[in-house]
């Protein structure tokens, strides 16, 4: 109870304070600063709570905070103003109709019992008469010149703020660039040197009054026209095409004003049928003659003119020079002969030589250190392009000159009574009329062989390489041995070959020789024994007078060789198998001459005469 008694005074004091507070007026709605478009209606709100019935509410405003209304009464000077709102709610809102620029300023709503609130500022926005004006760059400018632009606003309240833009990018602007002396604003732009990159720039001057919800900014743009000389860029400086295809040569030009393009071919004329289409030169069907450097030139009246170059390379298959002879004649035994093949193509062809129908190949030029008859033949020049395309041309090499008797058997050995064939292979151009055969016997006597000689047959036949002359000796005897010489002659000279014929004795002759030798030895031994016995007996070697008798040994003539036999007296083949010329391991193996008789005194005697046309040299 004591505590309650002590709290009652404090409760009463608090209640009294609340009642006093309730009896004082206060703002329920304060005036707010705002902006309005000229000609519209605006309401500035103001409401109180707790006003006494006889307490007045005042509205003050421009100019110089003149009293506009007292309570709900409005001064006659403000015929577009009135106080609106419900009095029961303490509303004293100021309505201004058809607001004008002079309505702009500060407004105050107050009463004596309430401390005045902050002033509300009313801004009446007067739109600009139009977009700003830009002066300067009305005509085209040249690259390298300076640019001066000026932008001025056209009326409007509040005065707009001006700014420069390049497209959407703002350009720096200082306050010193603005003319704030009057409501008309002005801003300038200066570029000391224009370049071709400034051509087409969209420079805009933007005037903004700052109240986007009421009035939009106004913009004026100026498109720069900068003239500059042409420049050329070549996207493909080198173009490669195959012969017969089309080719497009292109040069891109950058210039203002637009440049005229012309095409020329350096060192020649444009291909027939070529079409010039602005930046492109079109060649519908190229040939190898179209290869070269093409020049494009652009001119627009400003110096300097621009040029570019495009290299056209035409690929075409190889072609062998048609001026190369189809037949070449060379001399036999000529040294260091060469034959060069010329071919054109792109890429440059690789040229080689081949002997036709063989796998033999040589580089170009075709070279021979010495010309022989086996060089003669048809050779092909092969020109290859990229290893895929190739062409050939045949050239016949014709070898002329003195005869060449090819190597062969230089020693032929046959048995006595057999048949010997001696071969002589002759290559020559022109071909000799006939080969000449000469026989040199073992006594070095030479005899010209003729087909009429008994036992001798000379034949000739043609081969792929030349002529073969064959001497056939039938029923060979020892005296037929010797050297047989084959000679061939034409207009350029002659050549010869020697073939030695070695005749071996038959088996029966050998047996006879051995038998005779044995008999002779036996008889000689018996005679020696008889002589010794007779001497001992004194039957011989007595002293008798010498006689004048002379013993003449018998000397039978050897048989005539076959070359000296008369025609018609030969014999048929003995039946011994004919033997061709062959080598006996490089060694001549002559057999001893046959005995003429059994008389020992006849051994070793020379012939007293020969039946040959030529005799032995002395």
In angstroms, rounded to a whole number, what is the distance separating the alpha carbons of residues 314 and 192?
50
Specify the fold of 406-517+577-618: Immunoglobulin-like (2.60.40)
Whether the domain at 321-402 and the domain at 406-517+577-618 fall into the same CATH topology: yes
Looking at the chain, the whole-number percentage of residues with pLDDT higher than 90 is 58
The closest alpha carbon to 29, from 72, 74, 96, 85, belongs to 85
pLDDT band at residue 54 using 50, 70 and 90 as cut-offs:
confident
| Model confidence pLDDT, tens digit, residues 148-162 | 999 999 999 999 999
Residue 417 CB contacts under 8 Å (≥ 6 apart), including other chains: 475, 476, 477, 506, 574, 576
pLDDT band at residue 526 using 50, 70 and 90 as cut-offs:
confident
DSSP string covering 221-288: EEE--EEEEEEEE-S-SEEEEETTS-EEEE-EEEEESPPEEEEEETTS-PPTT-EEETTEEEESS--G
Instruction: Specify the higher pLDDT residue, 567 or 250.
Output: 250
The answer to whether the CB of 230 falls within 8 A of the CB of 262 is no
Give the count of beta carbons closer than 10 Å to the beta carbon of residue 134: 20
Which CATH number is correct for 229-317, 3.20.20.80, 2.60.40.10, 3.30.300.180, 3.40.630.40?
A: 2.60.40.10
Over the chain, what is the mean pLDDT? 82
Query: Given this model, what pLDDT does residue 407 score?
Result: 74
What would the two tokens of residue 328 be?
Answer: 């070449």
Sheet holding 247-250, edge to edge: 247-250, 280-283, 275-277
| Model confidence pLDDT, tens digit, residues 172-230 | 876 544 444 457 889 999 999 999 999 999 999 999 999 999 999 999 999 999 999 99
Query: Given this model, what pLDDT does residue 130 score?
Result: 94
Query: Given this model, what pLDDT does residue 188 score?
Result: 92
In angstroms, rounded to a whole number, what is the distance separating the alpha carbons of residues 281 and 266?
14
CATH of domain 321-402: 2.60.40.10
| Model confidence pLDDT, tens digit, residues 231-290 | 999 999 999 999 999 999 999 999 999 999 999 999 999 999 999 988 999 999 999 999
The answer to whether the CB of 276 falls within 8 A of the CB of 299 is no
What 8-state DSSP symbol labels residue 203?
A: E
Least confident range of 80-84, 244-248, 561-565: 561-565
What would the two tokens of residue 375 be?
Answer: 């060089």
The closest alpha carbon to 108, from 87, 98, 94, belongs to 94
> Where do the structural domains in the chain lie, given as residue ranges?
23-125, 130-224, 229-317, 321-402, 406-517+577-618
Query: Given this model, what pLDDT does residue 569 score?
Result: 33
Over range 65-77, report the average pLDDT: 93
Query: Given this model, what pLDDT does residue 514 score?
Result: 67
Query: Given this model, what pLDDT does residue 4 score?
Result: 59
CATH of domain 130-224: 2.60.40.10
Query: Given this model, what pLDDT does residue 362 score?
Result: 93
The closest alpha carbon to 374, from 333, 421, 412, 341, belongs to 333
SS3 290: helix
| Model confidence pLDDT, tens digit, residues 324-337 | 899 999 999 999 99
| Model confidence pLDDT, tens digit, residues 104-128 | 999 999 988 888 878 999 999 999 9
Query: Given this model, what pLDDT does residue 390 score?
Result: 85
CA distances from 608 to 135, 446, 478, 613, 615 (A): 147, 18, 18, 15, 11
| Model confidence pLDDT, tens digit, residues 483-510 | 999 999 999 999 999 999 999 875 555 5
Query: Given this model, what pLDDT does residue 113 score?
Result: 84
In angstroms, rounded to a whole number, what is the distance separating the alpha carbons of residues 31 and 117?
8
**Would the pLDDT of 23 be above 60?**
no
What would the two tokens of residue 90 be?
Answer: 């303490």
- β-strand partners of 362: 353
The pairing of strands 579-580 and 420-429 is: parallel
Over range 369-389, report the average pLDDT: 88
Give the count of beta carbons closer than 10 Å to the beta carbon of residue 214: 16
Architecture of domain 23-125 in CATH?
Answer: Sandwich (2.60)
The pairing of strands 389-405 and 327-331 is: parallel
pLDDT band at residue 453 using 50, 70 and 90 as cut-offs:
confident
Instruction: Specify the higher pLDDT residue, 505 or 36.
Output: 36
Query: Given this model, what pLDDT does residue 576 score?
Result: 30
The answer to whether the CB of 265 falls within 8 A of the CB of 293 is yes
CA distances from 288 to 192, 314, 317, 361, 455 (A): 54, 6, 10, 30, 74
In angstroms, rounded to a whole number, what is the distance separating the alpha carbons of residues 277 and 523?
128
| Model confidence pLDDT, tens digit, residues 402-423 | 999 987 788 999 998 899 999 9
In angstroms, rounded to a whole number, what is the distance separating the alpha carbons of residues 178 and 34?
27
pLDDT band at residue 6 using 50, 70 and 90 as cut-offs:
low
Instruction: Specify the higher pLDDT residue, 592 or 252.
Output: 252
In angstroms, rounded to a whole number, what is the distance separating the alpha carbons of residues 590 and 582?
14
The closest alpha carbon to 152, from 132, 174, 138, 175, belongs to 132
**Would the pLDDT of 437 be above 60?**
yes
In angstroms, rounded to a whole number, what is the distance separating the alpha carbons of residues 35 and 245?
76
**Would the pLDDT of 593 be above 80?**
no
Least confident range of 21-25, 549-553, 613-617: 613-617
Show the 3-state SS of 305-322: CEEEEEEEEEEEEEEECC
**Would the pLDDT of 451 be above 50?**
yes
């Amino acid at each position: 109870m004591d505590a309650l008694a002590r709290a009652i005074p404090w409760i009463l004091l608090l209640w009294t304070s609340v009642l006093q507070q309730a009896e004082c007026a206060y703002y329920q709605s304060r005036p707010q600063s705002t902006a309005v478009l000229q000609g519209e209606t605006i309401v500035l709100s103001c409401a109180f709570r707790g006003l006494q019935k006889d307490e007045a509410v005042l509205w003050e405003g421009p100019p110089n905070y003149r009293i506009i209304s007292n309570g709900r009464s409005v001064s006659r000077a403000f015929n577009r103003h009135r106080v609106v709102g419900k009095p029961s709610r303490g509303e004293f809102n100021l309505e201004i109709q058809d607001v004008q620029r002079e309505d702009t300023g500060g407004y105050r709503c107050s009463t004596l019992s309430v401390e005045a609130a902050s002033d509300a500022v009313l801004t009446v926005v007067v739109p600009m008469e139009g977009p700003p004006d830009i002066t300067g760059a009305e005509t085209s400018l040249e690259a390298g010149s300076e640019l001066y632009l000026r932008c001025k606003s056209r009326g409007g309240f509040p005065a707009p703020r001006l700014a420069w833009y390049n497209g959407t990018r703002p350009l720096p602007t200082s306050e010193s660039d603005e003319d704030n002396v009057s409501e008309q604003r002005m801003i300038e732009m200066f570029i000391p040197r224009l370049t071709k990159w400034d051509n087409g720039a969209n420079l805009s001057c933007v005037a903004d009054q700052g109240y986007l919800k009421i009035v939009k900014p106004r913009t004026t743009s100026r498109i720069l026209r900068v003239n500059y000389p042409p420049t050329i860029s070549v996207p493909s400086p080198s173009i490669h095409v195959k012969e017969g295809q089309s080719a497009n040569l292109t040069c891109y030009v950058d210039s203002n004003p637009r440049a005229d393009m012309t095409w020329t071919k350096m060192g020649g004329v444009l291909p027939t049928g070529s079409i010039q289409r602005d930046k492109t030169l079109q060649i519908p069907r190229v040939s190898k003659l179209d290869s070269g450097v093409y020049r494009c030139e652009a001119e627009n009246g400003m110096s300097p003119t621009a040029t570019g170059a495009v290299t056209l390379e035409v690929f075409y298959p190889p072609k062998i020079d048609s001026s190369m002879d189809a037949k070449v004649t060379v001399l036999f035994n000529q040294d260091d002969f060469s034959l060069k093949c010329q071919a054109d193509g792109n890429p440059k062809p690789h040229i080689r030589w081949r002997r036709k129908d063989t796998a033999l190949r040589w580089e170009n030029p075709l070279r021979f250190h010495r010309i022989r008859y086996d060089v003669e033949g048809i050779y092909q020049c092969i020109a290859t392009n990229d290893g895929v395309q190739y062409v050939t041309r045949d050239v016949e090499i014709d070898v002329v000159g003195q005869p060449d008797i090819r190597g062969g058997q230089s020693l032929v050995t046959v048995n006595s009574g057999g048949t010997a064939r001696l071969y002589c292979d002759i290559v020559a151009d022109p071909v000799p009329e006939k080969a000449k055969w000469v026989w040199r016997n073992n006594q070095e006597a030479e005899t010209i062989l003729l087909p009429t000689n008994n036992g001798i047959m000379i034949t000739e036949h043609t081969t792929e390489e030349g002529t073969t002359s064959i001497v056939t000796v039938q029923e060979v005897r020892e005296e037929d041995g010797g050297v047989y010489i084959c000679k061939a002659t034409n207009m350029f000279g002659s050549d010869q070959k020697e073939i030695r014929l070695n005749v071996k004795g038959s088996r029966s002759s050998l047996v006879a020789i051995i038998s005779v030798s044995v008999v002779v030895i036996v008889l000689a031994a018996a005679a020696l024994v008889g002589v010794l016995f007779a001497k001992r007996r004194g039957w011989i070697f007595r002293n008798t007078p010498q006689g004048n008798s002379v013993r003449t040994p018998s000397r039978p003539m050897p048989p005539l060789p076959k070359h000296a036999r008369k025609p018609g007296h030969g014999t048929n083949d003995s039946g011994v198998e004919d033997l061709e010329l062959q080598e006996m391991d490089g060694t001549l193996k002559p057999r001893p001459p046959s005995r003429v008789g059994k008389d020992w005194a006849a051994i070793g005697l020379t012939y007293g005469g020969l039946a040959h046309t030529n005799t032995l040299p002395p």
